[in-house]
Amino acid sequence: MEYRVKKLKESILIKVIGPINKNAKYSARSFLEPFLDGRFTNITLDIDNLENDREIVCHIGLVNSFKKAIDQVGGKLFLKVERSSIRKYLHKTGMDRLFYLISS
C-alpha cells in the first residue's frame, strides 16, 4: 500500500494505492502527524485505488483511523470514493453518514 500526498491551499489530498496493509490502520496517526499542525484542517482520502474488495473491513479500518486522528485536531475528513462496492458497503452499514463523501 502506498500513500500519495498532494498539498493544496488549505487542504491535503491523500491517495491510497495498492493492496491494503493490514497494519496500516495503526500507523495512520504517525503518517498524518506532519499534516495535523493546524495549517491543514481538511483532508481528502481517496480510496478508489485500494485493491481487493474482499478486504473492505480493513479499508474501513484504515478510513476510521484517519478520521479519528483528524477529528482529534478539529479537522474534517472527506472521503473520495467512486467504487460502487465501497459506496454500497458504507451505505448498507450506515457509515456513509460519518464521512463527507465526495465524487470526482
CATH code assigned at 35: 3.30.750.24
Mean pLDDT of the chain: 81
Weakest mean pLDDT among 4-13, 47-56, 71-80, 92-101 = 47-56
* Proportion of the chain above pLDDT 90, given as a percent: 4
What pLDDT score was predicted for residue 9? 78
Burial of 55 by CB count in 10 Å (0-12 exposed, 13-18 middle, 19+ buried)?
Answer: middle
Helices (H), the chain: 28-32, 56-72, 84-93
Number of domains present in the structure of the chain: 1
Q: What is the pLDDT of residues 93-102, one digit of tens each?
A: 888 888 788 8
Report the phi/psi class of residue 74: left, alpha or beta, with left for phi > 0 and alpha for psi in -120 to 50.
left
Task: Inform me whether the pLDDT recorded for 23 exceeds 70.
Answer: no
Range of the domain at 17: 2-102
Give the mean pLDDT of 9-28.
Answer: 77
